[in-house]
Amino acid sequence: MIILENITMTEFSRHLEETKTIVLPFGTVEEHGRHLPLCTDTLIISEVLKRVSRERTFFLGPVIPYGVCTTTGDHPGTISISPVTLRHLTNDLVREAYKKGLRNVVLVSGHGGGLHMSAMKESAEKLVRSLEGLRMAVFTPYDLLWKELGEIAETPNDSHAGEIETSMVLYLAPGLVKGRSPEEFPGIPRAFVVADKVRRWPGGVWGNPEKASAEKGERAFDLMCGKVIEILDEMSTMED
């Protein structure tokens, strides 16, 4: 396990002979209903990558705990950044990593917001064209495992702060789960952009937390770890 912020510059140079891969996790400070902590996205992705770092060799960067939160941006507790900020942050971090000799950069997000992921991917598109030999992967496990996670959940169309996320926090940090919010789905028409999102989605839950369990959380967690490992292994075999 190579935890970037815990090693010295001498250790960094030595580990660079073992691997040219760095994984950068992204989370949020975002409402997750009345029952889950604001750090839910950060907690889940951090724990996934800690597990994976015991099975594969790479530099694990500190989690970036802020992201682009649009639909939840006005809910109590959410602290969002703009897509512009995220694009600049992604660009700076990757360029610095590249300058230090890292050539494989994996950006893994615990938050699946559309504008959030688009900002990261837009930066990655420009970076791989401008930095010779750079390989990048940008993803959130939720997008890649939508079908598999849906088979674990009993709730159709489960998503934000619902059955799966509640189950994962129950598995990883049960003391942070404060009861259960009732089942809820956003009342925002899919094709529309509205100003008052809180009025149309007061509880900030997308699914049914009452169906959550630690056992489901463990299954979801294992799926996420496996998917990250799969992507790291694929990156290691890619041809330039």
Residues 74-133: pLDDT tens digits? 999 999 999 999 999 999 999 999 999 999 999 999 999 999 999 999 999 999 999 999
Distance CA 186, CA 173 (A): 26
In the chain, where are the structural domains located? 2-237
pTM exceeding the 0.75 threshold for the entire prediction: yes
> Which band of pLDDT confidence, cut at 50, 70 and 90, is reported for residue 190?
confident
**Considering the chain, what is the average pLDDT of its residues?**
96
Q: What is the pLDDT of residue 237?
A: 84
What is the tens place of the pLDDT at every residue in 13-63? Answer: 999 999 999 999 999 999 999 999 999 999 999 999 999 999 999 999 999
Residue 240 has pLDDT above 60, yes or no: no
Distance CA 203, CA 145 (A): 25
Q: What is the pLDDT of residue 141?
A: 98
State the Cα torsion 48-123-95-133 to the nearest 10°.
90
Residue type, 112: G
Q: Which homologous superfamily is 2-237 in?
A: Creatininase (3.40.50.10310)
What is the tens place of the pLDDT at every residue in 116-155? Answer: 999 999 999 999 999 999 999 999 999 999 999 999 999 9
135-139 and 104-109 strand pairing: parallel
